[in-house]
């Protein structure tokens, strides 16, 4: 149990979810390392959703609403940290979630499937029970496999906490890629069409809220939001914010 009065309660709480995820076969050990890298960048952005993330959230919501077939990707860390929020977003978009793993094993697929199913037994969950059979060109081994009914078919994919190589290959096959990544320097952050530089635990509910809010906007408005969005500019804003914050920091 994490003591609630601990000054870093939230951070410890989310670490405990990941630890439990490892015990349940949902999270792999390298997922813990990835989380540590994310935490370091979260410190640098002040552990708050900043303006650059809010702009990316708005563009992401607009792009998801314009999509013919959007899919929400769920990996081990996402399933351990924010499974409810991933499902809520997919529901709001009236679409499916897909279990999309870098280290794919039948046991892991099953454990994540059970976690998601336990939250919402009506949810359409792809990528389980050996259904990831489409290979993304250029990606060998199990990390290249996605569900032919899901990511393979989608025009817009939300792939949070994704590896840069896979993001690049998804772009290569014509997908519009939205990612969530605390590290504005990562390859994923740079390859994606839209990068939300924020902690997934904070920004996923905000993204769902934004989708709800923009749902009734007309198409023209959504197109304008997407067209006015500049991902390189947003990453620059994040880096400038971090640099300035460090220079101005009083110890
Ligand atoms: P890349 O291959 O994109 O250059 P990487 O080698 O860091 O980056 P991974 O370790 O596969 O790639 O990806 C994990 C990414 O997810 C990291 O960039 C990390 O900053 C980010 N991350 C980890 N935890 C969170 C979180 N809770 N919220 C948002 N981003 C996170």
Could you list the residue range(s) of the whole structural domain that residue 127 is in? 51-246
pLDDT at position 231: 98
Best of 30, 39, 181 to mutate for ligand 1, by most ligand atoms within 8 A of CB? 181
Domain membership flag for residue 8? no
pLDDT in tens, the chain (251 residues): 788 889 899 999 999 999 999 999 999 999 999 999 999 999 999 999 999 999 999 999 999 999 999 999 999 999 999 999 999 999 999 999 999 999 999 999 999 999 999 999 999 999 999 999 999 999 998 899 999 999 999 999 999 999 999 999 999 999 999 999 999 999 999 999 999 999 999 999 999 999 999 999 999 999 999 999 999 999 999 999 999 999 999 88
Cα 31 to middle of ligand 1, angstroms: 9
Residue 72: phi and psi, rounded to 5, are -105, 115
Is the Cβ–Cβ distance between 75 and 81 less than 8 Å? no
Tokens 């929400």 locate to 72
- Cβ 156 vs Cβ 178: under 8 Å: yes
The one-character DSSP state at 3 is: -
Strands (E), 43-187: 70-74, 97-99, 125-126, 134-135, 145-146, 156-158, 176-180
On whether residue 16 sits in a domain, the answer given is no
pTM: 0.97
User: What is the CATH number for 123?
Assistant: 3.40.50.12640
Measured in angstroms, how far is the CA atom of residue 41 from the centroid of ligand 1?
10
By alpha-carbon position, which residue is closest to atom 6 of ligand 1? 163
- Please give the number of the atom of ligand 1 that sits closest to the Cα of 165: 2
Q: Indicate whether 64 belongs to any domain.
A: yes
Into how many domains does the chain fold?
1
Question: Quick one: which atom of ligand 1 is closest to the CA of 185?
Answer: 4
- Pocket test of ligand 1: the residue of 50, 81, 183 to mutate, having most ligand atoms within 8 Å of its CB, is 183
How many Å apart are CA 230 and CA 9, to the nearest integer?
A: 35
């Amino acid at each position: 149990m994490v003591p609630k009065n601990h000054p870093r309660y939230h951070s410890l709480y989310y670490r405990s979810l990941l630890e439990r995820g490892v015990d349940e076969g949902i999270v792999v050990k390298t997922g813990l390392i990835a989380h540590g890298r994310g935490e370091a960048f979260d410190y640098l952005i002040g552990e708050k959703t900043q303006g650059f993330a809010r702009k990316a959230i708005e563009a992401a919501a607009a792009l998801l609403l314009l999509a013919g077939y959007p899919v929400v990707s769920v990996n081990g860390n996402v399933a351990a940290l924010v499974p409810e929020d991933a499902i809520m977003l997919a529901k709001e978009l009236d679409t499916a979630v897909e279990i999309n793993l870098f280290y794919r094993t039948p046991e892991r697929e099953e454990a994540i499937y059970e976690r998601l199913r336990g939250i919402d037994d009506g949810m359409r969950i792809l990528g389980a029970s050996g259904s990831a059979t489409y290979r993304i060109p250029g990606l060998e081994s199990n990390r290249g496999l996605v569900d032919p009914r899901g990511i393979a078919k989608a025009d817009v994919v939300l792939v949070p906490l994704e590896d840069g190589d896979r993001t690049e290959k998804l772009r290569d096959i014509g997908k519009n890629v939205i990612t969530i990544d605390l590290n504005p320097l990562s390859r994923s952050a740079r390859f994606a069409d839209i990068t939300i530089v924020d902690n997934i635990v904070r920004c996923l509910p905000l993204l769902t809220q934004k989708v709800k809010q923009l749902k009734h906007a007309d198409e023209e408005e959504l197109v304008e939001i997407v067209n006015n969005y500049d991902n390189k500019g947003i990453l620059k804003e994040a880096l400038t914010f971090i640099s300035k914050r460090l220079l101005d920091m009083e110890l």
